[in-house]
């Protein structure tokens, strides 16, 4: 409800005519009418206080800074930055950024994140330096969306038998190449003939680092 609507609704609720309210506020009846039509948008503070007193409401309510129950509406108050709505993502453990390590979902708590950030289902903590050229460093938190397939070139958490690793995935007819992002490491190449089970756990959608810039 806008400022103009609040004036009219509360005036009519109290049974005031335009003339009666104008006398209480100290302005002309046409001015009150212009308040109610929205023609006058920048009302002086002293007049807002008079209007609030006459209409038996608070100035904050007229300004849209609080609701009918006198609860503050923070996003309407100038200078107030409202906290973002948060969601929590589970941290499930550590993933290798180097040679694969034994995959184990070690519950490690939750990470709070703005709900408007890229959607993630779980987090793994990076270990090693094979992905540093993708700006993923040892100890970083890697945000992943659960999926069993990714487009070529995407970074994903991949399970090779029971060993998990974080690599850039490239798939061919009978071969999967897990490419590190560090020239000092060789790609992991898995072919159908190797009889190894390759399972994509999730696609990376973001990284959080505590490193100083």
Residues labelled catalytic: 130, 167
**For residues 135 and 109, what is the distance between their CA atoms, to the nearest angstrom?**
24
Which residue matches tokens 């490239």?
170
Which residue matches tokens 């999730």?
202
For residue 46, give the nearest of 25, 24, 67 by alpha carbon.
25
1 touches 63 (CB < 8 A)? no
- What token pair was written down for 68? 């009918």
Count of beta carbons in the 10 Å neighbourhood of residue 17: 12
Report CA torsion sign: 167, 171, 176, 179. Answer: negative
Which residue matches tokens 């994509």?
200
């Amino acid at each position: 409800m806008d400022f103009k609507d609040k004036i009219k609704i509360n005036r009519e609720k109290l049974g005031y005519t335009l003339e009666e309210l104008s006398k209480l506020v100290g302005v002309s009846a046409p001015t009150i009418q212009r308040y109610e039509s929205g023609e006058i948008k920048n009302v002086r503070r002293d007049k807002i206080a008079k209007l609030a007193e006459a209409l038996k409401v608070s100035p904050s309510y007229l300004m849209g800074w609080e609701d009918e129950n006198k609860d503050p509406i923070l996003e309407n108050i100038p200078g107030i930055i409202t906290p973002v709505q948060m969601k929590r993502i589970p941290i499930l453990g550590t993933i290798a950024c180097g040679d694969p390590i034994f995959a184990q979902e070690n519950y490690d708590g939750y990470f709070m994140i703005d709900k408007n950030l890229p959607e993630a289902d779980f987090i793994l903590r990076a270990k090693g330096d094979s992905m540093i050229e993708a700006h993923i460093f040892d100890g970083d938190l890697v945000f992943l969306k659960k999926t069993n397939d990714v487009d070529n070139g995407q970074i994903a958490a991949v399970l090779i038998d029971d060993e998990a690793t974080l690599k850039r995935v490239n798939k061919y007819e009978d071969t999967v190449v897990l490419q590190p992002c560090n020239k000092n490491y060789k790609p992991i190449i898995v072919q159908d003939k190797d009889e190894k089970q390759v399972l994509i756990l999730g696609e990376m959608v973001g990284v959080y680092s505590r490193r100083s810039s």
